[in-house]
Amino acid sequence: MRVAMIGSGYVGLVSGACFADFGHHVVCVDKDPGKIERLNAGIMPIYEPGLEQLVSSNARAGRLSFTTSLDEGIAGAEAIFIAVGTPSRRGDGHADLSYVHAAASEIAKALDGYAVIVTKSTVPVGTGDEVERIMAEANPEAQFAVVSNPEFLREGAAIGDFKRPDRIVVGTEDDRARAVMAELYRPLFLNQSPILFVGRRTAELIKYAANAFLATKITFINEIADLCEAAGANVQDVARGIGLDNRIGSKFLHAGPGYGGSCFPKDTLALVKTAQDLGAPIRIVETVAAVNSQRKRAMARKVIAAAGGNVRGKRIAVLGLTFKPNTDDMRDSPAIDIIQALQDGGATIHAYDPEGHEQAALVLNHVDYANDPYHALEGADAAVLVTEWDVFRALDMDRVKALLTAPVLIDLRNVYDPAEMARRGIRYSSIGR
């Protein structure tokens, strides 16, 4: 099949490359000429394990190409995906759909035959209806069907998630569009990946509900961690004890500094705003968003307490900057709030992240970036582990202790064992233990 992907960011690029790997012919379109030029040169705009090789192999095979021309990109396409950004709108927290609406209008004007228009972007309930209206108004002669096909890709594991999904959600009531989508995803039937055909509005809501539920699990275990600290219990054992219950499950029960990234913060907020507008407020999700926002600054206070109650004039080593490992994504990373709060307290920051320095420099000021973990630790008065990259899981603790001016380690991901740290003479603080 011929596929067009409007938007060559994280979702569009990963999805386009994976569809090409299935044997489809995919054209990725983006308005940014610099991004398209780099992609044509084999330079990835994001860090995602395996993506560079996947893109290059399919580009060489002629199944994947990149262009700034929407007319060129959608020519002859049977499925046209809208995979543009939907950031939180300034001022009110609603999803900003201006890029989606603009793409819909441009697609309609350039359409030269029947095509299925697929919203891959994360959008509020009812967006498909608006896309349909915009397209019909822009080109009354256009032949198309609008389908919702939300993505469920985890940054750092996106290729595996696309090729071996838990489920494929397709929202449409149109039989012709359903047949096109079934053919598009037919290669995944070999893996017996379930494809769930539902109404379009239902599909739109499934995405938001899934992210809100996972954000709720994270926030729940973080609050249980605080209770564990107060009660003298161990949150890791609590999480294991409840996670073995099949009704609960063990995933997303890892206590830490709060969730971040491109999805959970904006999607929980957008769901809250949509529910309020429809007169059906979701109080649980409202609380989740508020608690998570407060938690990040609370983690800075934890660092300050462990460093003696005052960080003015002190040097703090920060290990890990991105919101999670195996990505360079800094969006709503806990590290941002933690570092800014420490700087407000008078600390200077030395930081190391395997992939995040370039993106971190766009959102953080006055941070010195080290070229390895030990360089960041050298001469620091305390170290804080924020993101659990593999490189931080087996640090030479004798070397760590020797490099620090004071043997203080605040582990916000519970990577290390408290008893082992005590044995080594390191003043160790973790989450919920």
Helix (H, G, I), strand (E, B) or coil at 176: helix
Q: Which two tokens stand for residue 344?
A: 């407000």
How far apart, in whole angstroms, are the C-alpha atoms of residue 51 and residue 15? 10
- At position 36, the amino acid (one-letter code) is I
Main-chain phi, psi angles of 325, to 5 degrees: -70, 165
Half-sphere exposure of 268 (CA within 13 A, CB side): 27
- Known catalytic residues? 263
Distance between CA atoms of 253 and 214, rounded to whole angstroms?
9
What are the strands of the beta sheet with 427-429, ordered from one edge?
367-369, 348-352, 315-319, 382-385, 408-411, 427-429
Joined together, the tokens standing for residue 268 give: 């929980």
Burial of residue 338 (number of CB atoms within 10 Å: 0-12, 13-18, 19+): buried
User: Is residue 277 within a helix (H) or strand (E), and if so which, with residue range?
Assistant: helix 264-277
Q: What is the spatial distance between Cα 215 and Cα 209, in angstroms, rounded to a whole number?
A: 10
Q: How many CB atoms lie within 10 A of CB 122?
A: 23
Token pair of 118, please? 């697929």
Closest CA to 334 of 303, 312, 308: 303
Helix (H) or strand (E) holding 276: helix 264-277
Answer yes or no: are the C-beta atoms of 369 and 357 closer than 8 Å. yes
